[in-house]
Amino acid sequence: MTPEELGALLESLLSLGRETEWVEFKHNHAEPQEIGEQISAASNGAGLHHKERGYIVWGIEDQTLRVVGTTFRPQRAKVGNEELENWLATQLEPRIHFQFGEFLHGGCPVVILQVQRCPNRPVGFRGVEYVRVGSYKKRLKDHPEKERLLWAQGPGAAFEKQVATADLTADEALSLLDHAAFFEMAKQPLAETKNALVDRLHSEKLIAAAGTSGHWNITNLGAILFAKRLSEFEGLARKAVRVIVYPGKDRIKTVKEQVGLRGYAAGFEGLVNYIYDQLPRSEKIFGALRTEARAYPDLAVRELVANAIIHQDFSMTGVSPLVEVFTDRVEITNPGTPLIQTLRFIDEPPQSRNEALAALMRRLNICEERGSGIDKVIFEVEHARLPAPNFLVTEGHTKVILYGPRKLTHMDRLDKVRACYQHACLLYVSNQKMTNASLRRRLGIADRNYSTASRIISDTIQRGQIRPYDPGSTSKKHASYVPFWA
């Protein structure tokens, strides 16, 4: 990872506000045996909490979470004549991937150790397995309830392949799924016979053969996408998308709350149309005519809702995708943290926990292919002259905030930096480069106020999110800029 990406990761971990069973903060303590035990604990803690990785961070005061810097240099550390990293790897069982990252944050040296979650059984160090209980490292065998949970997870099957309802007749399975919606969305004629219907649903892995001859299991993929009523599937009923509308800018009062009834694919058009109807409207004048338009681009809302559905962590119980409509913004939240850094959402190849679900939703034209969805969201937001969307990672969730119309004078420094970075990304993926003039057009800044755009560019460079395309150039007038990762 680049220093910029490590810095963004650090900010994400610090935003948790405390140590967890999968995140440990340290100042300088870096004794090799202790590091190995913490790797075991972090890996097992990540497995217990369904995280992709655990983390150990040096350079942080663990009580205040203040960045103070560290003297630990893992690349120079040795155990005897052996490099620390290699020694640690040979003492872990099973072998897992881990990686040290060294960088400066606010001028202070910081080290982040990323640790793979335990794969299919607890990870031990030198024959002993560890786990964190609160903020303390303990031997796993002293906590049998946690040990059972780790062993019970096993390698397991992907969520989509698991069974939602088992041992049904063909008629029973067809009665629970909106198979007509599948054929319509796939733009294919409805199969004429029951056997043909069943064969097609089977080929799409929406159902699977049961142990009883002639009987069928409905897979999670089939139920979550095409259930006529999600409430008919006990394990999936709480996965329905919720839409909450508030009368103001806070959550004190609620105007209405709607919970989806159908599977995600079968009910998607109804869901997004319902959300569209709840959005505030702005008045526009075309010639002598006044007309009302929604304050947010339809395509941006649609794509973000689809992303929340696709990228959620189905292993988290009691939570579901959530859309909240306020008078000044829309917040779209899904369970689970992203597999890539939020700063790389633009133009980064998509990674999903739910590959089969994502692939089918793309084939059904519910969302965009090849990771271009977020790019189009940013394009639509810029075209509508709205503030830049905010992509946030909270503990266990990913949130996107779409902001309503707001003048530049009412945006804070971070709003402007975010807009500058996203604008640079959008131009770069279109084989163009950001300039002072292009940023002025993006933010509606008058040409005479070019110094305002210059200050925003300078702030974004200081945040490490963009850089000059040609650092050696002394021309301010013709200067251009690209994202830090370009």
CATH architecture of 408-483: Orthogonal Bundle (1.10)
What is the spatial distance between Cα 360 and Cα 31, in angstroms, rounded to a whole number? 49
Note the pLDDT of residue 166. Answer: 82
- pLDDT beneath 50: ranges in the chain: 155
Phi, psi of 99, rounded to the nearest 5 degrees? -150, 130
**CATH match of 240-403 with 3.30.565.60:** yes
What is the spatial distance between Cα 403 and Cα 334, in angstroms, rounded to a whole number? 18
Note the pLDDT of residue 226. Answer: 97
Q: Do domains 3-153 and 240-403 have the same CATH topology?
A: no
The answer to whether the beta carbons of residues 386 and 405 sit under 8 Å apart is yes
What is the spatial distance between Cα 54 and Cα 75, in angstroms, rounded to a whole number? 20
- Indicate the domain borders of the chain: 3-153, 159-235, 240-403, 408-483
Peptide bond into 471 cis (omega under 30): no
Name residue, tokens 């897992």.
96
What is the spatial distance between Cα 473 and Cα 438, in angstroms, rounded to a whole number? 19
Whole-prediction pTM: 0.69
The answer to whether the beta carbons of residues 388 and 422 sit under 8 Å apart is yes
Largest CA distance in the chain: 83
Q: Which residues contact 313 (CB under 8 A, 6 or more apart)?
A: 50, 334, 335, 336, 337, 353, 396
**CATH match of 3-153 with 3.30.950:** yes
Distances (CA, A) of 247 to 71, 251, 257, 386, 435: 52, 9, 12, 21, 40
The answer to whether the beta carbons of residues 393 and 365 sit under 8 Å apart is no
Note the pLDDT of residue 211. Answer: 65
Note the pLDDT of residue 53. Answer: 84
